[in-house]
Amino acid sequence: MTTQREIAASLGLPIHPPKVEIFDLTDRTNTDAKRQVRPVDEYRVEPCGLYMARPMVDHPSLDYLESWLLPELGLRISDYRGRPGHSGNQDFYLDIVRIEPGEHRWRTIDLYLDVAVTQRKEARVLDSDEFVTALRAELLDGDTARRAMDTTHLVVDGLARCDYDLPAWLRTFGIELGWRHAK
């Protein structure tokens, strides 16, 4: 059987299979896309989704990560805190994902497209080149790709209508996110 990575390589495409992450609420760990198991400081399940807060161990410029998994919207919303001397170029990072919630374990599958939000200024769609390459390599089926594009358009259009204010846009869905570190 041919793997997704082998298909991409045979097509000469510099692409990875969709990134998968595991959020284990019982063990309080987050297994990242590179299969590194990271300790989690806090998990919180709310009606809108799952909150996670954890240190960014051994990252050269980032110190801390807070993320919300929002299954109904197909989004992972992250706020990264930089190490001293490193400032980010966005306020929030939105991954377009498929989320599989569970009682003790959640799983995300990254759908390549991302949106970087600078509050009250702009929203930038990122990684469309990866998305197109993954589609060409058949790492995404047509329905999944369409959902990813629809979600991306929903996000960018909604943010524009709310003057690029992410919390204001989320309130249109009745979602109010709480963060460990004050926003």
Q: What is the mean pLDDT of residues 87-98?
A: 89
pTM for the full predicted model: 0.90
36, 78, 41: which is closest to 59 by C-alpha? Answer: 36
Residues 25-79 have pLDDT tens digits of 999 999 998 899 999 999 999 999 999 999 988 777 778 999 999 999 999 999 9
Report CA-CA distances (Å) from 24 to 28, 30, 68, 89: 6, 6, 14, 30
| Domain 4-172: top CATH class | mainly beta
Q: Where are the domains of the chain?
A: 4-172
Q: Which amino acid is at 161?
A: R
Residues 94-114 have pLDDT tens digits of 999 999 999 999 999 999 999
130-146 as b/e, with b when 16 or more CB fall inside 10 Å? bbebbbebebbeeebbe
CB neighbourhood size of 41 (10 A)? 13
Report CA-CA distances (Å) from 151 to 7, 114, 146: 26, 10, 8
Q: How far apart are CA 174 and CA 66, in angstroms?
A: 20
